[in-house]
Amino acid sequence: MNIDIIRGRDFYSEFTFSASRSGGPGGQNVNKVSSKIELRFNVSESILLSIEEKEIIHVKLANKINNEGELVLVCQTERSQLANKEKVIEKFYSLISKALTTQKKRKPTKVPFKAKAKRLEEKRQKSEKKTLRKTLEN
């Protein structure tokens, strides 16, 4: 997790959690216990994010944000509610930090002269081999 981007901000007070019964295997545990955790975070109303950060998050995480402007994350992999809660919080921080990291701009490089010369030489040799085959066949 890249803490530098988040700069130690604690978003916990802005989270809204809801628990429900999770699907999938698990036998009676699934039928009885509400272990599925849904984390909701309202991006547009967040105090801890700047306007630029909110815009970046809205663009990069558009498929995870609903019509109310809430970032919705779900975790139901673990059997306990607490473990799912910890996992979904970790998922949130990694998503936010990944969205807010700027990618380095790629510097275009040239193909070295030796590599170009080697490729052309191999190409010439292969061509020569094939022309020799043609003369032998006819």
**What are 38-73's pLDDT values in tens digits?**
999 998 888 888 889 889 888 998 898 888 888 999
pLDDT value at position 2? 45
DSSP 11: -
Task: Choose among 44, 97, 49: nearest CA to 71.
Answer: 44
Spatial contact of 87 and 39, defined as CB atoms under 8 Å apart: no
What total number of domains does the chain contain? 1
**Residue 25 belongs to some domain of the structure:** yes
Query: Between these two residues, 34 and 39, which has the higher pLDDT value?
Result: 39
Domain span at 89: 3-100
83: domain CATH number is 3.30.160.20
**Position 109 in a domain:** no
d(CA 90, CA 95) in angstroms, rounded, equals 9
Residue type, 87: K
User: Can you tell me the mean pLDDT for 3-22?
Assistant: 75
At 96, is the secondary structure helix, strand, or coil? Answer: helix
Residue 78, in any domain of the structure: yes
DSSP character for 47?
A: S
> What pLDDT shows up at residue 9?
76
Q: Average pLDDT, whole number, for the chain?
A: 85
Are 47 and 56 in contact by the 8 Å Cβ rule? The answer is no
Q: What is the mean pLDDT of residues 24-49?
A: 81
Say if residue 25's pLDDT is above 70: no
